[in-house]
Structure 1
């Protein structure tokens, strides 16, 4: 379950449930299982998260 808003337009909001499909060095691939973006694949990159936390949230 996603615990923070990352990209509301893409369905990546608080409470979005996802299934992790791949874990790699520096990234996570997941498939959304709830909401209007069901079955969409999303990629969470460590470098983007690190940059967002240093600059403040984007949402």
Structure 2
């Protein structure tokens, strides 16, 4: 194992250790934003006209 390879492995390990909490926080924020967008879309869809809602309850297509 050369010194360059050992330094690369150590640098990668340090970078993973340093940036993992930031990556996890970013993933949580993105998932939270996705949930908010999904809830907004569901609420918007739920407020459709009564005729469309009645068709969905009867098993009809959207």
Point out the structure with the larger strand share: 1
**TM (normalized to structure 1)?**
0.24
Highest CA radius of gyration, 1 or 2?
A: 2
For CA contacts below 8 A with separation 6 or more, give which structure has more relative contact order: 1
